[in-house]
Structure 1
Amino acid sequence: MKPVAIFRHAAHEGPGYLAEFLDRRAIPRVLVRIDQNDAVPSSVDRFSGLVFMGGPMSVNDSLPWIPKALALIGRAVEADVPVLGHCLGGQLMARALGATVTRNPVREIGWFPVTAVDGPAALEWLDGLPREFPMFHWHGETFALPQGAVRLLASAACSNQAFVRGPHLGLQCHVEMTPSMIADWVRESDGELESAATVQSGEEMLRDAPARTQALHRVADVLYGRWVQGLA
């Protein structure tokens, strides 16, 4: 199998649990370190899938790698190479597919529930999961739904938490978290954790982190498991 290309946009926002998931299934992967100025490939021919992780920047920023990433996503969609996006990655997918990315009404940071949107997509992508379950969040922007996409998840603070379009899955939320990643993000938060109804303290996010992330990984197993079915 060709490797899955994983695009990292910040050193502390790596693939996390996704790497463990792929390794257990002997699915090869390569890391493209945008934060270390690795070049964005111009072709999808060498990859079975593309994964875009999170990052502190905005899709609307004038960064030289963003147009190249958007073009690569477009080529992957045209070639039916599955794309998976986490937070910034989901926003890159939405933008590449013609949708807008704008400021969310509130910042959503911490553990908050998401709800499955009833329909065939939920039956296919969320098989066996409850209608509502806890999810980890860290974002201030949100994507609109691209044409042809179906909304999969919503939260009280952000109506578009996930979408699917064919074999492609865009997430606003984070299923890849590990306890050490949460600790790293809290340490790197740089004033983002001002108290608000939709922003938890670092202490609250880290409370029972091992148990919370184990439950999160059960959700990730379902979502990732459906996504890898599309890999050639």
Structure 2
Amino acid sequence: MRVNIIQHTPNERPGLILDWTQNHQHQVGIYHPYQFQGVLPTAAETDLLIILGGPMSPNDHFSWLENERQLIQTLLYLRRPIFGVCLGAQQIVKTLGGTIKAAPVKEVGWAPVKLENQIIPNLPAKMSVLHWHQDTFSIPTGAIRLFSSELVPHQGFLYRHNVLGLQFHLEVASLNIREMLINDGSYLNGSAFKTSCQKILSQPVPPINQRVLFQLLDFICANN
């Protein structure tokens, strides 16, 4: 399988997603449209599209963001699996006609999310995850809400069993979190969690997060 990953900023990397691709011996391509003249994969060479987070908004006027949504639209038509994280999930929502707006509060740091639907079996009822956002999305028409948090109710969705978006970050390993904090630690200012870089780093990544990430990726690929 050819897995194409769109990375929107240097310090929000694929992380544990690459472990999953290696376990399955998938071929991986990583694209950086924000830096390299909007270069994106084609639909023809994409069996699974993964769209990572970033500081942009789908409401920003960058031509490559629009081109990215055109790619998503084509893959939706072809019924290829798509997995979006944070900005990536918002891009999917905007493509499906949903809205992106400021969240009720800014969520940055560790906090729990709750499972809202058991359509994907054997997921935990609650888990602690890394949040890094101040926007939120609507749940697209025809999609199922999968996760919520106490402060921001729309944290994840499943569409047609093979398209999944998460507002939070399951893909991060400890090194990825350290890189995010080194380069963008000021983003913690104004977080509803009133946390610090030290507090975030002191909490190890829960092993269950990797298991859930792998399970979600396996699910959308099996339902292609």
- Aligned-pair identity in percent equals 29
Q: TM-score, normalization: structure 2?
A: 0.93
Matched with 1:123 is: 119
SS in structure 1 at match of 2:151: coil
1:86–1:172: 8 Å Cα contact kept in structure 2? yes
Q: TM-score, normalization: structure 1?
A: 0.90
Q: Residues 18-57 of structure 1: matches in 2 within 5 Å?
A: 18-37=17-36, 38-41=38-41, 43-57=42-56
Deviation (angstroms), 1:86? 0.3
Structure 1 runs of 4+ aligned residues shifted over 4 Å read: none
1:195–1:201: 8 Å Cα contact kept in structure 2? no
Deviations 1:139-166 (A, max 9, x none): 0001111111110000012111100111
Q: List alignment gaps of at least 5 residues for structure 1.
A: none
1:115–1:153: 8 Å Cα contact kept in structure 2? yes
Matched with 1:221 is: 214
Cα RMSD over matched residues?
A: 1.5
Deviations 1:88-112 (A, max 9, x none): 0000000011001000011101111
Matched with 2:188 is: 193
2:128–2:206: 8 Å Cα contact kept in structure 1? no
Quote the Cα distance in structure 2 between the aligned partners of 1:195 and 1:46: 41
Deviations 1:102-123 (A, max 9, x none): 00011101111111113xxx23
1:179–1:213: 8 Å Cα contact kept in structure 2? no
Q: Residues 57-76 of structure 1: matches in 2 within 5 Å?
A: 57-76=56-75
Pick which of 145-154 and 127-136 moved more: 127-136
Quote the Cα distance in structure 1 between the aligned partners of 2:127 and 2:156: 14
Quote the Cα distance in structure 2 between the aligned partners of 1:108 and 1:173: 9
Deviations 1:41-89 (A, max 9, x none): 4x41111011100001111111120110111101110110111100000
Deviation (angstroms), 1:183? 0.5
Out of 170, 175, 188, the residue aligned to residue 170 of structure 2 is 175
